[in-house]
Structure 1
Amino acid sequence: MQLGKGIEWTTHICTILAIVPPKRGLSVDALAEFFEVPSAYLAKQMQLLRRAGIVQSVRGKGGGYRLAKAVDEITLLDIVLAIEGPMPAFRCSEIRQNGPCGLKRKDCKRPCEIASAFADAEQTYRAALAAKTLASIMQEAAANSTPEHMMEIAGWVQRQVS
């Protein structure tokens, strides 16, 4: 399974938005500049996050995007579902019914064993993503970073919202 770039980008962006002061926001252009990603593509991803209730837009001076929820209320699954949608990664097309030895539709009383195996794996995968919050990711990142780098990020955010 391969997730789109939007998942990586928006998850990183949410960690930056987490330190935006109250009633302020960061523009798509500033966020795109911070990570050196295309602004137009990022804008589409941010709209998906907004529709999912993960971020909200702030109008006026200092406007842009900010988190709509606390970091401990946003899971990696929330972000994946916002960007990729709720459809399962594996979609069974029932090819066991095709070809010279294909089963008849009436004989397919149980789900395909292959589809069931993929569904079980996806359920495990989604449960793991649901167990990881943005807060836990940020804690791990802070523990693996230097205080200087964390201050550099905070300073950049402060300059953008001032």
Structure 2
Amino acid sequence: MAEFYKLPAAYLNKQLQALVRAGILTSVSGPRGGFSLARRPEQISVLDVVLAIEGNGDAFRCEGIAKDSPGGSMDADYARTCLISQTMRHAEVTWRTELSRQSIAGIAQSIERRFPDARESTVLQLIGARSGQ
């Protein structure tokens, strides 16, 4: 799969293992092993996948620019009062809400409607890549 998607194998394995730890995938080791979904695709949101790979930390962290600027105060909680921080937090909440509404099943259905031959074509390409063709 790494070769097919032109990714370093170690990188792909790290991401797949993160998905296993999050309960999104199951893995079976050995020559006939591999990965499969641990839950039905309707039960896996895009947010589940993002959190498994990226973690649950904030996408934006206030680094104290206002505190360190002229007129800044060490006593103020700029992370809470900073308009940039508030704007970014609002955007992140909106982004996470939208990702939580999208299931991987819904994405797969959209792809299949838009590209009816995508599944068969991808499987054939993966088989070809696996056999070295």
TM-score (norm. length: structure 1): 0.69
Secondary structure at the residue paired with 1:105? coil
Amino acid at match of 1:132: Q
Q: Number of aligned pairs?
A: 129
Counterpart for residue 81 of structure 1: 51
TM-score (norm. length: structure 2): 0.82
Deviations 1:8-58 (A, max 9, x none): xxxxxxxxxxxxxxxxxxxxxxx2233232212101111111111111112
- Segments of 4+ moved more than 3 angstroms: 106-110, 152-160
Structure 1 portions without partners, runs of 5+ = 1-30
**CA distance in structure 1 between the partners assigned to 2:69 and 2:31 by the alignment:** 63
CA root-mean-square deviation: 2.5
**CA distance in structure 1 between the partners assigned to 2:79 and 2:126 by the alignment:** 57
Residues 100 and 158 of structure 1, relative CA distance in 2, 3 Å threshold: closer
Q: Which has the higher contact order (CA 8 A, sep 6+)?
A: 1
**CA distance in structure 1 between the partners assigned to 2:79 and 2:4 by the alignment:** 53
Identical positions, percent: 39
**CA distance in structure 2 between the partners assigned to 1:75 and 1:145 by the alignment:** 22
Q: Which moved more, 1:54-63 or 1:102-111?
A: 102-111
Counterpart for residue 73 of structure 2: 103
